[in-house]
Amino acid sequence: MVTTMGNRLKSLYLALLNVHYGWSAGKYYYFKKKQRIWEPLVLVVALAPAAVMAVWFLWSMTDKLFLAGLAYGEPHLSLAYGALMVAVLTLFFGFFYVLSAFYFSSDLEILVPLPFKSWEILVAKLGVVLTGQYVINTLLLLPIWIRYGLLAGVGVDYVLSALVVFLTLPILPLVLASLFTVVLMRFTNLSRHKDRLTLIGGILFVVVVLGFQLWMQNNIGDGDPEAFLEQVLIQTDGLVRIVGRVFPTSVWAAQAMAYSYSAQGWLRLFYLVLASAVGLGVLYLLGERVFLQGVVAGLEGSKQGASRAVDWKSPQVRPAFWTLVNTEIRLFVRDPGFALNGLIGYILLPVMAILPLFAKNLSENPFEFLTQQEWPPLLLIGGVALFFMVMTSMSMIPTTTFSREGKYLWIIRSMPLSIQEIIFTRVVASQIVNTLGCLLGLLPVAHLFGWSVFTIIIGTLLGVFLATALACLLIILDLSRPMLDWVNPIKAVKSNLNAIVGLFGSMLLTFGLGALFYWNFQAGQLWLVPLELLLACAVLAFLGLLLLSRFAPKQWQSIEGGI
Amino acid sequence: MLQLHDVSKKYKGADRFAVRDLDLQVRSGEIFGFLGPNGAGKTTTIKMIVGLLQADRGRIVVNGHDLAKDPVKAKHSIGFVPDNPNLYGRLTGIEYLNLIGDVFGVDGPTRARRLDYYLEMFQLTRAAGDLVQSYSHGMQQKLALTGALLHAPALFILDEPMVGLDPKSAHLFKEIMREHVDKGNTVFFSTHILEVAEKLCDRVGIINQGQLIACGTMDELRQSSQKTDLSLERLFLELTEDGDNHGK
């Protein structure tokens, strides 16, 4: 029986969605094997505070924008902002999602030989990206829309209009990102430089984050929310006009919902649907002509060029310990997905800390305490040590060390090494990177703020002890449930619950110790800080050694994946 | 060299044993072929021998070392190549081989001699400096073989070693296996290619539905079936069909 085109497209979309979100794998583990059932619960508990805070922020922002907009005769300002925020975020991140899904995913080698039309693969993949975007948009838009609805006293027409807007809003930004990507990949064959592209994308992301931070520093004003809002509103007119030019869809979306009771609103909704349909049509035509050619060129481009000469006749023999440390570091830094996610914090955090120095209103900025107050050296020692400790979990090197091995884990498991030896090499590798990374960020900050060399040395030493003891625990955490079933290596770090749990735990520890140091400061007993650091270090080390001798060997033998 | 005593394995959530009460002795200086239909338990057995899976019951002894009690010493005697050797894509071939050499403590001159021999033989000399992710499947297979042979293991274990090798490499590889056992070492490999097993193996074991249903030299197997002119293929089909029928 000939499968109809619609069924084929639906099957392809559902299969890609399943693989992307790991539904079958989840069902297999959670329901059939009845393993790791607690994972989703932990994930919900870990992410819930962030989600609650985001919803609260958007809810109160809508409140303020509604009232302020009312004064200017534009109460639907919050709707315009919501739509603009979604459009810009979708366009910016959409470019990376699309690039990754369309050209860098490993399923292309399976899909290309199958009898699919070029546009079918393109549309199914776009569908997967779009589905993910709908989930994100639900979190971003619902609080704004519900709050606006309550404030404006809207009717059923608003709900209907909102439903259509919700479905169409991310289409055009994603289509624009897709068009740009498809054309770029067809004529430049950037797949050949996949690593470089990932690196550039990551750096671009950092620049945008830092730029936004600096803009906020310079535009928030004197910290008064009312004044900030006024400033926003002064800029709003221009901003909306610019947005209207670049992204008319977000203005149409806001007007469609705000005037859903009138013909004007439904006309705007029609514009929005029409624009999305036209965009999809253009993508279909272009996809049919050039998409597969770009993919095939990329698959060809993944093979290397000329071979590099190597001298194996006089091999460099090293102690196994250093070779294992070296290999762990090499494998981490050579993968841009790992390196960017793990190492970016070492640069981002110190830069964000000293950014206020370049802001206009230094005296009123929230980092004033760092720049203008003389802090006792013992407290600084505590701060530096905590920085080392928190960064080791933020780097995700220890918390994903076995997960990153994935299907390569058989190599290390079939080697004549005890798990204690392996963990020891992993701790050392993570601490070499952590110490270098922390010093890279810390030394310029210390120089700028004039911290003494002695403070830095003692803080670093205590920090290295503390981070080493913590790293051992974090590695054992990853050993307890390594995430080995991944196709895209980025998933091993970005979608890894061990990384989240590890970060959450070390944050709690950092806040706990930080609070203790502050209490010491208030009580005039700062001499306790180094002792407390050493005590924390001893407790962590004891726990690590206990788990290393009792739990780790059994767990190492019982792992069933990784080949 | 290799002893398995009443070894059993049942995967979590599975309703039947993947391997059940497996008793097997592989002697030093022999090539042992481990045969069986798909899903019979060959790979599970191999994974247990090399320490990638833990047996639920029974004992595995490698070169005199109990795998459960002294896995590090047992693994020192093993060189292993899985059916689909996934190697670190972001290491170069030579970096991977040096990793193996350092961990197994292969000294410089010996390493240089063996690398020279195997890299030349498998025509990997030009690619040794390239990242493994740029290798074809066959090249990765040959690199994994080179890595597994680098420390001249007393027990060389391979899961479907012929898959992915071109005819010339397969021929060379059969010679390597014979050469390896001639030095007193042991080769244990699983295969579906019965012709290779028949010509190359000193003894074969046939596993079906997790249980060893036959083991011995070709002559011993023929005698036990009371049909002296039977090929290994015919014998294999008869034995595994019997096993299937019993299973039903």
Q: Which of A411, A424, A487 to probe the B interface (max B CBs under 10 A)?
A: A411
Closest Cα to residue B42, out of B62, B22, B56? B22
Number of domains chain A contains? 2
Q: Which of B71, B128, B134 sits opposite A312 (nearest CB)?
A: B128
Mean pLDDT taken over chain B: 88
Name the percent of chain A lying above pLDDT 90: 28
Q: Rounded to whole angstroms, what are the CA distances from A302 to A6, A480, B95, B167, B193?
A: 32, 35, 21, 26, 33
Sheet holding B155-159, edge to edge: B78-81, B155-159, B186-190, B31-35, B203-208, B211-216
- Dihedral over Cα of A557, A561, A562, B5: its sign: positive
- Dihedral over Cα of B239, B240, B242, B243: its sign: positive
Other Cβ atoms less than 10 A from the Cβ of A79: the count is 30
Residues 6+ apart with CB under 8 A from A533: A381, A382, A385, A462, A465, A466, A513
Mark yes or no for CB contact A32/B13 under 8 Å: yes
What is the C-alpha separation between A442 and A438, in angstroms, rounded?
6
Other Cβ atoms less than 10 A from the Cβ of A524: the count is 8
Residue-wise pLDDT for B19-73, tens only, equals 999 999 999 999 999 998 888 899 999 999 999 999 999 999 999 999 999 999 9
Q: Exposed/middle/buried for A519, CB within 10 Å: 0-12, 13-18, 19+?
A: exposed
**Pair (A69, A111) in one structural domain:** yes
Q: Which residues of chain B neighbour A411 with C-beta distances below 8 Å?
A: 87-88
What is the C-alpha separation between B18 and B20, in angstroms, rounded?
7
Residue A268, in any domain of the structure: yes
Other Cβ atoms less than 10 A from the Cβ of A556: the count is 21
**B158 or A236, higher pLDDT:** B158
Place of tokens 């997967």: A128
pLDDT of residue A460: 95
Q: Which of A249-258, B67-76, B87-96 has the lowest mean pLDDT?
A: A249-258
pTM of the model: 0.77
Q: Which of A310, A418, A563 sits opposite B82 (nearest CB)?
A: A563
Q: Which of A2-6, A234-238, A276-280, B47-51 has the lowest mean pLDDT?
A: A234-238
pLDDT of residue B200: 87
**Pair (A125, A251) in one structural domain:** yes
What is the C-alpha separation between B61 and B67, in angstroms, rounded?
6
Residue A37, in any domain of the structure: no
Mark yes or no for CB contact A560/B13 under 8 Å: no
Q: Which two tokens stand for residue A314?
A: 């006089």
Residues A299-320, mean pLDDT to the nearest whole number: 70
Residues A362-382, mean pLDDT to the nearest whole number: 67
pLDDT of residue B145: 93
Buried/exposed A432-460: b ≥16 CB within 10 Å, e otherwise: ebbbebbbebbeebbeebebeeebbebbb
Q: Which of A173-187, A476-490, B59-73, B120-134 has the lowest mean pLDDT?
A: A173-187
Of A225-229, B4-8, B213-217, the range with the highest mean pLDDT is: B4-8
Closest-CA distance of chain B to residue A194, Å: 13
Q: What is the total residue count of chain A?
A: 563
A427: three-class secondary structure by DSSP: helix
pLDDT higher than 90, residue A376: no
A107: three-class secondary structure by DSSP: coil
Q: Which residues of chain A neighbour B82 with C-beta distances below 8 Å?
A: 410, 563
Residue A31, in any domain of the structure: no
Q: Which two tokens stand for residue A531?
A: 């002792």
Residues A191-206, mean pLDDT to the nearest whole number: 69
Closest Cα to residue B202, out of B188, B213, B212? B188
pLDDT of residue A445: 83
**Pair (A492, A356) in one structural domain:** yes
pLDDT of residue A44: 78
pLDDT of residue B103: 95
Mark yes or no for CB contact B11/A560 under 8 Å: yes
Q: What is the total residue count of chain B?
A: 248
Residue A222 confidence class, pLDDT cut points 50, 70, 90: very low
Q: Which of B47, B51, B115 sits opposite A312 (nearest CB)?
A: B115
Mark yes or no for CB contact A410/B102 under 8 Å: no
Residue A380, in any domain of the structure: yes
Mean pLDDT taken over chain A: 81
- This complex has an ipTM of 0.91
Mark yes or no for CB contact A416/B11 under 8 Å: no
pLDDT higher than 90, residue A537: yes
Mark yes or no for CB contact B134/A303 under 8 Å: yes
Closest-CA distance of chain A to residue B79, Å: 8
Q: Which residues of chain A neighbour B121 with C-beta distances below 8 Å?
A: none
Q: Which residues of chain A neighbour B95 with C-beta distances below 8 Å?
A: 327, 330
Mark yes or no for CB contact A308/B92 under 8 Å: yes
Q: How far is CA A178 from the centre of its chain?
A: 21
Is domain B1-77+188-248 given the CATH code 3.40.50.300 in the classification? yes
Residue A208, in any domain of the structure: no
pLDDT higher than 50, residue B146: yes
Domain containing A473 equals 321-362+371-556
Element (H, E) at A476: helix A453-480
Of A241-245, A357-361, B240-244, the range with the highest mean pLDDT is: B240-244
pLDDT of residue A1: 46
Element (H, E) at B33: strand B31-35
Residues A6-28, mean pLDDT to the nearest whole number: 81
**Pair (A341, A296) in one structural domain:** no
pLDDT higher than 90, residue A552: yes
Mark yes or no for CB contact B97/A407 under 8 Å: no
Question: Closest chain A residue to B100 measured between Cα atoms?
Answer: A415
Q: Which of A330, A335, A560 sits opposite B53 (nearest CB)?
A: A560
Residues A132-158, mean pLDDT to the nearest whole number: 88
**Pair (A53, A135) in one structural domain:** yes
Residue A221 confidence class, pLDDT cut points 50, 70, 90: very low
**Pair (A265, A379) in one structural domain:** no
pLDDT of residue A369: 54
Q: Which of B54, B93, B103 sits opposite A557 (nearest CB)?
A: B54
pLDDT of residue A82: 83
**Pair (A501, A402) in one structural domain:** yes
What is the C-alpha separation between A416 and B62, in angstroms, rounded?
13
**What are the beta bridge partners of residue A371?**
none
**B185 or A123, higher pLDDT:** B185
3-state secondary structure A148-160: HHHHHCCCHHHHH
Residue-wise pLDDT for A55-85, tens only, equals 888 888 888 888 877 777 777 778 877 888 8
Closest Cα to residue B60, out of B91, B26, B86? B26
**Pair (A266, A380) in one structural domain:** no
Q: How far is CA A135 from the centre of its chain?
A: 16
pLDDT higher than 80, residue A204: no
pLDDT of residue B24: 92
Residue-wise pLDDT for A394-446, tens only, equals 999 999 999 999 999 999 999 999 999 999 999 999 999 999 999 988 888 88
Residues A178-183, mean pLDDT to the nearest whole number: 81
Residue A366 confidence class, pLDDT cut points 50, 70, 90: very low
